[in-house]
């Protein structure tokens, strides 16, 4: 029996492979890398290979469709895409020497540029804006449809594998599901997506069909949301001016989100700008960007403040470039009233590629900024003698140690230990030096051992990213009980419950419930039979064992006992009576932080003993 649908699918798949051989070839490379990672997820070189292959998908697709649109000779098309493969191979070789953070950042940087290239390159010189819009609509909907097929196939085939395993006794290992997803996502998805790309791209210039669903979504969802948030941002600007305060650091995310939502709305409703019933689109498309200008000004203020305080990093660089680009786009559309939506992906792609490499790139500028900050702090602490770094003659403040630690941690984790050679080659050697814990080296129990080694070599105590404030500014403690030589008397107790007293604990007892909870000021409170009793103050307990400074400055300091953070369990006991019950609380772990509002207990693991009086 002949099955036309299957025969047609096979023919379509073959024609797609002939039409996009390079794209499908790089998809196979990506799938091979993905399968290797399913087998060995920790292989960093294979991750870089996967990154290069994933970047090849949009790049090669953009070049193939642009060559088709301009009707280039087959030999020239092959040469262009072969050149792109060489460029991807060079990227792979270079990426093997990058840090993990650097590799991930550059991958997303290039992924953005190449996907924008897909959007406009086939229609960069020829064709109308109508064809440009129709092409991107088809790409978007085809991508979503392919993703839906992948999701359904993965769910259905996963259930089939599960049935084989549980019903027929076929041994299906967990990695089989990972391999299935890789094959569907990196082979089936791109192949199915490519099969739906129109062959005659020039004919898209003559298409006038427009899904009403897009109009409804844009007009009644995106536009109102973008407008509401734009009004919120404008009100926030008024508040900043009235209160003379700097804008919040997270303003960048909000401005970027509003700009993206508004721009997407403009792009989606572009084809109906000429209709009599959609004249609002022209008004919105022009005045949205005019209204965005005050928010962009706030964004620039916030970025300037952060850069002034902490220098430039890649994220701040990208945010600054985005703000400048938004300023240019807002002025262009606000002043000219242009309807050329092709400007948006084309200029953003150019900006992304322009900031990728060179002394002006995000990576070079960020590294130079942090190196300069480090040099400034060395000079401020008298640690520079000519070209050499010397140990500090006086104690370096907590704030300076925190900043020096953050700078070295950033340079090592983002640009590698060799980036410290720009400050001093000995500093880079120390970062690459012996492993933590060896003679003369710090313990290495931190979040960045290489940064710790580097600072240790110049006499600076390293601070982790979690030590955000000076210890004296926020007194805190964490102690653990150790069993001493003396046993603890538990006679007269009938019940023992291991409990976490950072939460309310309920113990069913004698027809009622004995509840234990902590008050905001660090007092353990017992409740039973409608009465409540304070079992004792954790702060008082912490002061008695020397974990917190005494509330009364005149009180004598308690004696130091044993190892820091290790306290005999006999010193971590609270006793109380409530009604006919005796309650004893034996803390095994206890930790908290003294804030202006009281003691915040974040660890309180204890044995609760309950007995009758």
The 10s digit of each residue's pLDDT in 83-117 is: 999 999 999 999 999 999 999 999 999 999 999 99
Q: Does residue 486 register a pLDDT over 70?
A: no
Question: Which of 62-76, 252-266, 574-588 is predicted least confidently?
Answer: 252-266
Could you give the CA distance from residue 224 to residue 220 in angstroms, rounded to a whole number?
6
The listed range with the strongest mean pLDDT (6-20, 84-98, 127-141, 586-600) is: 84-98
Q: Does residue 127 register a pLDDT over 70?
A: no
Q: Does residue 245 register a pLDDT over 90?
A: no
The listed range with the strongest mean pLDDT (99-113, 120-134, 419-433) is: 99-113
Predicted local confidence at residue 278, as pLDDT: 61
Size of the chain, expressed as the number of residues it contains: 613
Two tokens, residue 351 = 């900006």
| C-alpha separations of 129 from 53, 264, 277, 316 in Å | 31, 16, 20, 34
Predicted local confidence at residue 48, as pLDDT: 95
If one compares 448 and 486, the residue with the highest pLDDT of the two is 448
Predicted local confidence at residue 530, as pLDDT: 83
Q: Does residue 246 register a pLDDT over 60?
A: yes
| Sign for the pseudo-dihedral over CA of 488, 492, 498, 504 | negative
Q: Per-residue b/e over 329-344, b at no fewer than 16 CB within 10 Å?
A: bbebbbeeeebebbeb
| C-alpha separations of 99 from 45, 60, 64, 311, 464 in Å | 11, 26, 32, 21, 20
Q: Does residue 33 register a pLDDT over 90?
A: yes
How confident is the model over 534-557, as a mean pLDDT?
76
Could you give the CA distance from residue 133 to residue 122 in angstroms, rounded to a whole number?
12
Could you give the CA distance from residue 116 to residue 498 in angstroms, rounded to a whole number?
58
- In this structure, are residues 567 and 589 in contact, taking their beta carbons and an 8 Å threshold? no
If one compares 556 and 195, the residue with the highest pLDDT of the two is 195
Q: Does residue 534 register a pLDDT over 50?
A: yes
Question: Which of 30-39, 271-280, 398-407 is predicted least confidently?
Answer: 271-280
Predicted local confidence at residue 248, as pLDDT: 62
Question: Which of 228-232, 234-238, 278-282 is predicted least confidently?
Answer: 278-282
Instruction: Give the pLDDT band (50/70/90) at residue 562.
Output: very low
Question: Which of 126-130, 273-277, 488-492 is predicted least confidently?
Answer: 273-277
Reference 205, options 122, 290, 327; nearest CA is: 122
Q: Does residue 207 register a pLDDT over 60?
A: yes
Report domain extents, the chain. Answer: 4-206, 213-356, 363-456, 476-612
Predicted local confidence at residue 144, as pLDDT: 93
List all residues 6 or more positions away from 563 whose beta carbon is below 8 Å from its beta carbon: none
How confident is the model over 513-522, as a mean pLDDT?
83
Question: Which of 2-6, 76-80, 369-373, 503-507 is predicted least confidently?
Answer: 2-6
How confident is the model over 530-539, as a mean pLDDT?
86
List the end-to-end C-alpha distance of the chain, in Å, as a whole number: 89
Instruction: Give the pLDDT band (50/70/90) at residue 269.
Output: confident
Instruction: Give the pLDDT band (50/70/90) at residue 472.
Output: low
Predicted local confidence at residue 2, as pLDDT: 52
Predicted local confidence at residue 556, as pLDDT: 59
Predicted local confidence at residue 277, as pLDDT: 61
Predicted local confidence at residue 274, as pLDDT: 65
Reference 576, options 533, 520, 519, 523; nearest CA is: 533
If one compares 579 and 118, the residue with the highest pLDDT of the two is 118
Within 10 A of 6 (CB to CB), how many other CB atoms are there? 9
Instruction: Give the pLDDT band (50/70/90) at residue 200.
Output: confident
If one compares 128 and 184, the residue with the highest pLDDT of the two is 184
Q: Does residue 431 register a pLDDT over 50?
A: yes
Instruction: Give the pLDDT band (50/70/90) at residue 82.
Output: very high
Instruction: Give the pLDDT band (50/70/90) at residue 440.
Output: low
List all residues 6 or more positions away from 316 whose beta carbon is below 8 Å from its beta carbon: 303, 306, 307, 366
The string of DSSP letters for 171-200 reads ---THHHHHHHHHIIIIIHHHHHHHTS-S-
If one compares 72 and 218, the residue with the highest pLDDT of the two is 72
If one compares 512 and 246, the residue with the highest pLDDT of the two is 512
Instruction: Give the pLDDT band (50/70/90) at residue 303.
Output: confident
- Percent of the chain whose predicted confidence (pLDDT) is above 90: 31
Question: Which of 81-85, 168-172, 277-281 is predicted least confidently?
Answer: 277-281
Within 10 A of 26 (CB to CB), how many other CB atoms are there? 26
Predicted local confidence at residue 561, as pLDDT: 46
Largest CA distance in the chain: 99
Q: Does residue 22 register a pLDDT over 50?
A: yes
The listed range with the strongest mean pLDDT (106-110, 285-289, 582-586) is: 106-110
Q: Does residue 442 register a pLDDT over 80?
A: no
How confident is the model over 298-326, as a mean pLDDT?
89
Predicted local confidence at residue 20, as pLDDT: 94
């Amino acid at each position: 029996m002949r099955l036309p649908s299957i025969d047609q699918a096979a023919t379509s798949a073959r024609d797609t492979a002939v039409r996009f051989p390079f794209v499908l070839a790089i998809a196979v490379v990506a799938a091979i890398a993905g399968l290797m990672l399913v087998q060995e997820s920790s292989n960093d070189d294979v991750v870089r290979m996967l990154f290069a292959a994933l970047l090849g998908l949009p790049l090669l697709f953009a070049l193939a469709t642009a060559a088709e649109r301009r009707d280039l000779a087959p030999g020239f098309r092959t040469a262009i895409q072969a050149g792109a493969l060489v460029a991807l191979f060079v990227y792979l070789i270079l990426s093997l020497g990058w840090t993990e953070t650097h590799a991930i950042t550059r991958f997303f940087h290039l992924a953005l540029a190449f996907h924008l290239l897909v959007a406009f390159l086939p229609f960069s010189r020829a064709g109308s804006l109508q064809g440009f819009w129709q092409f991107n609509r088809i790409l978007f909907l085809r991508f979503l449809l392919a993703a839906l097929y992948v999701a359904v196939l993965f769910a259905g085939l996963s259930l089939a594998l599960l049935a084989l395993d549980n019903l027929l006794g076929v041994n299906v290992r967990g990695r089989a599901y990972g391999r299935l997803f890789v094959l569907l996502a990196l082979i089936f998805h791109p192949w199915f997506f490519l099969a739906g790309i129109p062959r005659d791209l020039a004919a898209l210039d003559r298409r006038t069909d427009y899904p009403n669903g897009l109009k409804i979504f844009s007009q009644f969802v995106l536009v109102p949301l973008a407008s509401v948030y734009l009004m919120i941002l404008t009100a926030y600007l008024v508040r900043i001016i009235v209160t003379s305060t700097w804008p919040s650091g997270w303003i960048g995310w909000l401005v970027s989100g509003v700009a993206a939502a508004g721009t997407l709305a403009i792009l989606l409703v572009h084809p109906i700008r000429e209709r009599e019933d959609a004249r609002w689109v022209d008004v919105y498309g022009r005045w949205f960007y005019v209204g965005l200008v005050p928010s962009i000004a706030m964004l620039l203020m916030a970025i300037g403040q952060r850069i002034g305080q902490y220098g430039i990093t890649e994220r701040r660089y990208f945010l600054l470039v985005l703000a400048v680009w938004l300023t240019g786009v807002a002025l262009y559309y606000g002043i000219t009233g242009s309807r050329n939506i092709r400007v948006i992906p084309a200029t953003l792609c150019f900006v992304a590629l322009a900031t990728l490499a060179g002394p002006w790139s995000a990576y070079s500028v960020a590294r130079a900024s942090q190196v300069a900050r480090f040099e400034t702090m060395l000079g401020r602490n008298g640690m520079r003698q000519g070209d050499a770094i010397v140990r500090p003659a006086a104690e370096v403040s907590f704030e300076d140690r925190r900043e020096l630690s953050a700078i070295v941690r950033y340079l090592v984790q983002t640009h590698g230990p060799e980036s410290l050679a720009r400050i001093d080659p000995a500093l880079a050697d120390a970062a690459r030096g012996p492993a933590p814990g060896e003679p003369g080296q710090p313990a290495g129990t931190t979040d960045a051992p290489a940064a710790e080694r580097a600072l240790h070599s110049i006499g600076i105590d390293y601070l982790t990213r979690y030590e955000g404030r000076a210890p004296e500014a926020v007194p805190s403690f964490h102690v653990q009980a150790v069993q001493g030589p003396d046993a603890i008397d538990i006679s007269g107790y009938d019940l023992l419950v291991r409990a976490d007293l950072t939460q309310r604990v309920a113990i069913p007892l004698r027809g009622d419930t004995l509840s234990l909870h902590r008050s905001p000021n660090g007092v353990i409170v017992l409740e039973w039979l409608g009465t409540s009793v304070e079992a004792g103050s954790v702060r008082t307990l912490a002061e008695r064992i020397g974990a917190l400074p005494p509330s009364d400055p005149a009180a004598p300091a308690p004696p130091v006992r044993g190892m820091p953070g290790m306290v005999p369990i006999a010193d971590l006991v609270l006793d109380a009576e409530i009604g006919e019950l005796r309650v004893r609380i034996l803390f095994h772990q206890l930790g908290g932080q003294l804030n202006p509002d009281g003691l915040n207990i974040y660890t309180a693991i204890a044995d609760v003993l309950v007995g009758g009086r």
